[in-house]
Copies of this chain bind each other. A is one copy, B any other.
Amino acid sequence: MVSDKGMKGLNLGAVARRVGLVPSALYRHFQNKDGMIDALLELIESRLVANVVAVRQETDDPLLALELLLRRHVRLIRENAGIPRIVFSEEVYGAKSQRKYRVHDLLRRYLGRVAEFFRESQQAGTVRTDLSPDELSVMFLGLVQPAAILWHVSDGGFDVTRQAEKAWGVFSEAIKNGEDKGPEAGRASPATREN
């Protein structure tokens, strides 16, 4: 429903119709509309976490895991275009500070898991150590986010998948720990390596 009509289309009447009930009946299952949105956020977080867990099982290489995670992420938001619209909607991170912090925590937890992969890569020596895992995780998010927005406003005309692949290519090359990198940027792992 959110994919089609946005958060505006997510009113109790429409939801009730969708599940074959009458608006007031929804109050038997949720305290109020805010409760519904909270449940939605939990659902979304579980999807994101599921992706992290899945790629952990698919490979032991943390850098490869990130690439797989990126692909899954793209697929997730392509198939559920409502997810970004919910997470970044006014209803959610708008006025009410309580909900805003919920989203903040959601993002931080997800990015925390992403950062974990970077940390592992750094310890394995495959990623430069002059960038913090937290910073890297935010950059990682930046690989898809603008593409997703363009995809949405262009009504699916923009190729998110391709853009994400390209961006990952540039990004992963840039952060890899090669001693023959750039002139003065690639002085990674001087004495700070721990592994």
Q: Which of A's residues lie within 8 Å of B, judged by CB?
A: 5-9, 85, 88-90, 93-95, 97, 100-101, 103-104, 107, 131, 135, 138-139, 141-147, 149-150, 152-155, 163, 166-167, 169-171, 173-176, 178, 180-183, 185-186
Contacts and interface: CB of A to CB of B under 8 A. Distances in A.
Contact of A174 (B131, B145, B171, B183): B171
Specify the main secondary structure of chain A where it touches its partner: helix
A59 B59 CA distance: 47
Given A8-B95, A95-B6, A174-B173, A166 B135 contact: yes
Contact of A103 (B103, B138, B153): B153
A6 B171 contact: no
Number of copies: 2
Contacts of A186: 173
Nearest to A111: B150
A55 to B, nearest CB: 20
A54 to B, nearest CB: 22
Nearest to A184: B173
Contact of A167 (B9, B142, B176, B181): B142
Contact of A146 (B89, B142, B171): B142
Contacts of A141: 146
B104 A154 contact: yes
